[in-house]
Amino acid sequence: MEHHPAAAWLSEATTSAVQQHGAGNLLRVVLIVMVLGCVLTAWFLLRGYKQKDD
């Protein structure tokens, strides 16, 4: 597995967040990002079903 600088930065940031603030804040951020991702995915998929009234 190759190591990418972005992946190393993300891993370091995650470890730092867990050590400083506990797992609660990390879980909160993960849940918010997951919900926003679901909303954006639903919007992207459902916008194709809009019918034009020409």
User: Is residue 2 situated within a structural domain?
Assistant: no
- Gap between the Cα atoms of 33 and 6, Å rounded: 18
| DSSP secondary structure letters along 1-51 | ----HHHHHHHHHHHHHHHHH-HHHHHHHHHHHHHHHHHHHHHHHHGGGPP
35 assigned to some structural domain:
yes
pLDDT score at 25 = 82
Report if residue 6 sits inside a domain: no
pLDDT at 48 over 70: yes
Q: Report yes or no on 9 lying in a domain.
A: no
- What is the total count of domains within the chain? 1
DSSP code, position 52: P
Question: Which of residues 54 and 34 earns the better pLDDT score?
Answer: 34
Range of the domain at 39: 24-48
| 13 located within any domain | no
Q: What is the DSSP letter of 54?
A: -
Rounded to 5°, the CA angle 17-20-21 comes to: 75
Q: What pLDDT, in 10s, does the model give residues 18-47?
A: 676 667 888 888 999 999 999 999 999 988
For residue 42, tell me if it sits in a domain: yes
| pLDDT of the residue at 3 | 59
pTM: 0.51
What pLDDT is attached to residue 47? Answer: 87
